[in-house]
Amino acid sequence: MATIEHSEIINAPPERVFELLRRVEDFADYSDLIRSIETLGDNRYRWHVRAVGMDWTFDVMVTEIQPPYVLAWESLDGVKNQGRYRLREVPEGTEVLLTLTYEIRNRLMEKAVNKAAKPLVGKVSRQILERVEARLHE
């Protein structure tokens, strides 16, 4: 499995940041690459993403919720992935660390995705956190 990490500081307390990150269905508003997210119930969501010239759909289940410090998930189908947001209070507000692991079983596709994944996940993560911060200051 490949692992990608990205961190960002948001000028707001962890409780307020977590409140927005917890609304998974709103992530489509935070990134240009996320087409839509359907709520399936029981902390399950269907993501529709456009990345590396392809449409990707996968179901995700939130596996851990520890307000206001941890939100974790794993895919139920599609691209096998697990992610975790860890929030930590810092003098400037909240440090948000995203850790994402994924596995692609098709070797040819894996090479293409691995090459694009780190900058892509970084871009999506930056967009999400910048737009979360913007929403906090509206």
Taken in order of first residue, the domains within the chain and their CATH numbers are 2-137 (3.30.530.20)
Contacts 24+ apart (CB under 8 A), 61-67: 62/24, 65/22, 67/15, 67/18, 67/22
Q: What band does 65 get if pLDDT is binned at 50, 70 and 90?
A: very high
Run of H or E including 5: strand 2-10
Please give the residue that has the higher pLDDT: either 129 or 34: 34
Closest CA to 27 of 77, 85, 90: 85
Please give the residue that has the higher pLDDT: either 53 or 12: 12
pTM across the whole model? 0.81
| pLDDT of residue 59 exceeding 80 | yes
